[in-house]
């Protein structure tokens, strides 16, 4: 069931991506084209892996041997879409997030009323002097 839900969700996401690729213009479209290129490379690598390593196919691990083409397609979809999901967690944006976090560490924005004790005042003054 979980595998089926994953396949359905990724199929809908692919359709939404295709619609966005058709509708978008300018820089947004360029970003989508870069994503399409990256996913195409992932798809080619996944196809080679599935072709060379038949033991990796999903349905065959469950002893379903009556649909070899469906097994290849399902395995390919899970591998390619899995790389997309993985990149959203640890992908190319990780360095940007770390850089943005380090920049924001020096900025403090407060709203409302703040009460500071004498130790806090001393710590702020000591830090301002250093």
**What range defines the domain where residue 11 resides?**
1-87
The verdict on residue 100 lying in a domain is no
Taking only the tens place, the pLDDT of each residue in 62-120 is 777 788 888 888 888 888 877 666 666 665 554 555 555 555 556 767 777 778 888 88
Q: What per-residue string of b and e applies to 92-106 under the rule 16 or more CB within 10 Å gives b?
A: eeeeeeeeeeeeeee
**Residue 106: CA count within 13 A, CB half-sphere:** 6
Taking only the tens place, the pLDDT of each residue in 4-32 is 787 788 788 888 888 988 888 888 888 88
pTM: 0.54
Q: CB of 85 within 8 A of CB of 77?
A: no
Domain total in the chain: 1
- Dihedral sign for Cα 86, 89, 93, 96, please: negative
What is the per-residue pLDDT for 44?
92
The verdict on residue 46 lying in a domain is yes
**Residue 128: CA count within 13 A, CB half-sphere:** 6
Taking only the tens place, the pLDDT of each residue in 37-77 is 988 888 899 899 888 988 888 777 777 778 888 888 888 88
The verdict on residue 103 lying in a domain is no
The verdict on residue 80 lying in a domain is yes
- Say which DSSP state 57 is in: -
């Amino acid at each position: 069931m979980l595998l089926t839900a994953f396949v359905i969700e990724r199929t809908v996401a692919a359709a939404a991506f295709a619609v966005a690729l058709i509708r978008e213009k300018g820089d947004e479209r360029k970003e989508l084209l870069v994503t399409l290129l990256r996913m195409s490379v992932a798809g080619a690598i996944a196809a080679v892996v599935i072709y060379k390593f038949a033991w990796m196919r999903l349905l065959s691990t469950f002893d379903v041997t009556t649909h070899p083409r469906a097994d290849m397609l399902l395995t390919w979809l899970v591998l390619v879409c899995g790389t997309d999901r993985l990149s959203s967690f640890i992908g190319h944006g990780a360095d940007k997030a770390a850089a943005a976090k380090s920049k924001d560490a020096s900025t403090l924005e407060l709203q409302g009323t703040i009460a500071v004790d004498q130790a806090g005042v001393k710590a702020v003054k000591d830090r301002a002097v250093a």
